[in-house]
Chains A and B, each alone.
Chain A
Amino acid sequence: MDNTIDAQNVLMRVQQLTVEFPIQSTKIFSLGKQNFQALSNVSFEIRQGVTLGIVGESGSGKTTLARTLAGLIEPTVGSVSIAKNITPTRDIQFVFQDSLAALNPRMTVEQLILEPLDYQLPKMDVQQRQQKLKQSMEQVGLDYAQRQRYAHEFSGGQCQRIGIARAMITEPEILICDEPVSALDVSVRAQVINLLKDLQSQHGLTLIFIAHDLSLVRFISDEIIVLYRGRIVEQGHTEQVFNHPGHPYTRALIEVEPRPDPEFERQRVPVPIRSQNELEISELACVYVGRCKNRQSKCTQRQPEQRVLSDKQNVACFYPLKYPK
């Protein structure tokens, strides 16, 4: 990670990022090491105050991407650059999916929330710290009177609030949220999303919001990236991508999501179930070719590069979906 960006408003720039992990070969006598490519050739920019949604199914590389952005994983190829005024340890913070697992069970809420200050601002005096604690607990909707309790005494939604308060205490510029509401009940999810939205508007925060379902991402994101097997298959402005998805995978993600409407569900056309194994897929082929309804011979020969579909949308597909004007 390097502090080289001087451009206005751009906080982070990811260029041709590839992340590989070594894997153990299943063969006993294999030559050399094998690598699994978790991310391939990923590029994008994050501008200040913008919420970027990253969507993908399990195994798509979204968590690897988040961790690389936070500097927890070194890129194999490519680079992650950040703006000159950013100190990664203080200005980039993380909110995890399983908040209870992310919080030390032996620490009180007070200790948990204030811990980052021990490293970032060790000289702060006790009174200031208490004031900061009170402020940050109230900001996320926690009761300051409960500061001596332990994480397990709180509900899932409240634990997520503790996680957010802890992340916000150093007043970061960028907050990376990795599936922050996936483990929460439906009625509580919206509370946490709305809290993140409020924090963003109050602090001019830049949010990176990772999720596996599109519908929630739609609410919170200005821009969206759709990942499939480590590649960006589509990226652009949220509304544009939602209303006119260019990649067949993006459209499938939008269409298959069940809706709370029995009449709509009764009219749903069954999805054709297509096995991944029904054709020999060359390593060079498009990553989505195995499941694609629109595939043509070209798709089995090479991976499409990203191309501009409109000024608000890029797509990596030879035959992007078209819509009547």
Chain B
Amino acid sequence: MQAILEAKNISIRFNTAKGVVYAVNEVDLVLNKGEVLGIVGESGSGKTQLMHSLIRLLPGNAEVSGSIFYEGENIPDASQTRINTIRRNEIAMIFQDPMSCLNPYLKISQQLTEALLFDDKINKAEALQQAIDMLEKVQIPDAKQRIHSYPYQLSGGMRQRVMLAMALLRKPKVLIADEPTTALDVTVQAEILQLLKQLTAEYGLSVLFITHDLSIVAGQCDRVMVMYAGQVVEQASVNELFYQARHPYTQGLLASAKSQSGMSDKLISIAGQAPANNQRQPGCPFYARCEQRIDSCAKDTPVLSSNGSHSQACHLYG
């Protein structure tokens, strides 16, 4: 398989008034052409920061090290103009909260056609027609009328559809979806997930799907990366991860997700909480919460080791 987006040894630190925050530590990421890669992690695990680093969306106080290549092109060294072009045409992103991404003062029509009119040699009427067609693609009823609405006139699910339409208008190759359904009701979530799946196949997109919900990963992704405290703790195909999870954190997450969807009689949690990210200590970041810990876990930080396509950062596996 051919990689479309590749990041190596990414570390992200934030210099804040209260000291350094270690958000992401030495993470490798490979997104292959046409695949959907799920990035799973709880709040503070660094998943969003990692995604933002890929298209240089991080704020000024972030220090990023490591290399990022999009189709062989070096992202950290690219000019600002080139980055803007990549964001506009190549790598699109949809976010958790569509309301805060859409401009409340502008009609949907203006926001959708903005990128189309930027460097295409088409006129306004053609751009509007393309936008309407795309709204129909994302199954917005009465797209012709709805395109003249303001964001506040649409429901949460409709706004997320508009975001998706906006992301796909320039026919990007990569889509980064950051918790796109977390703010939605379950029935609406089901519709959006189905739509995403259908359009991913239709447009041959490569997708980075960020979520905290393993249940969504099960239905959407080909491969999964599990993050904990800024590190990748396990990476595998969806089936391997769900049916042969290795890392105790993944196992715990799976057990609690399964119990919460009624697949066991008891509600299962992982005791304790994630470590603070304002210092880096030796040893496994999951040590304090791990039920299977051994002596070496306290001293040496485990590194990702693989056995074919399934890799984990855990001393229990050598």
- A residues with CB within 8 A of B: 57-58, 155-158, 185-191, 193-194, 212-216, 218-219, 242, 252-253, 256-266, 268, 270-271, 273, 275, 277-278, 291
Contacts and interface: CB of A to CB of B under 8 A. Distances in A.
B7 interface: no
B308 interface: no
18 contacts: A58-B185, A158-B273, A186-B257, A187-B42, A187-B253, A188-B273, A190-B268, A194-B267, A218-B262, A219-B260, A253-B187, A258-B189, A258-B193, A258-B213, A258-B216, A260-B242, A271-B191, A273-B191
A278 B141 contact: yes
A80 B25 CA distance: 55
A213 B186 contact: yes
Nearest to A56: B185
Which applies to chain A's interface (DSSP): helix, strand, loop or mixed?
helix
B227 to A, nearest CB: 13
B269 A262 contact: no
Interface string B140-167: 0110000000000000100000000000
Interface string B291-318: 0000000000000000000000000000
B268 A57 contact: no
Interface residues of B, number: 46
Contacts of A57: 185-188
B4 interface: no
B263 A259 contact: yes
A194 B269 contact: yes
A311 B21 CA distance: 57
Residue from B141, B156, B188, B262 having most chain A Cβ neighbours under 10 A: B262
Nearest to A158: B273
Contact of B218 (A261, A273, A278): A261
A186 B261 CA distance: 11
Nearest to A265: B219
B238 interface: yes
Contacts of A158: 273
A266 B189 CA distance: 17
B213 A186 contact: yes
Contacts of B190: 256, 258, 271
Nearest to A191: B269
B281 interface: no
Contacts of A271: 187, 190-191, 194
B265 to A, nearest CB: 9
Nearest to A192: B269
Contact of B194 (A186, A219, A260, A273): A273
B139 interface: yes
B218 A189 contact: no
B215 interface: yes
Nearest to B141: A275
B239 interface: yes
B210 to A, nearest CB: 14
Nearest to B140: A275
Contacts of B263: 259-261
Contacts of A185: 42-43, 212
B252 interface: yes
B52 interface: no
Contact of A190 (B141, B193, B267): B267
A156 B43 contact: yes
Interface in B210-236: 212-219
A260 B269 contact: no
A197 to B, nearest CB: 8
Contacts of B142: 277
A254 to B, nearest CB: 9
B187 A256 contact: yes
A252 B191 CA distance: 12
Residue from B190, B263, B271 having most chain A Cβ neighbours under 10 A: B190
Interface in B243-287: 243, 252-254, 256-263, 267-271, 273-274
Contacts of A259: 215, 218, 261, 263
Residue from A58, A262, A268 having most chain B Cβ neighbours under 10 A: A262
A256 B187 CA distance: 6
A260 B257 contact: yes
Contacts of B269: 187-191, 194
A190 B256 contact: yes
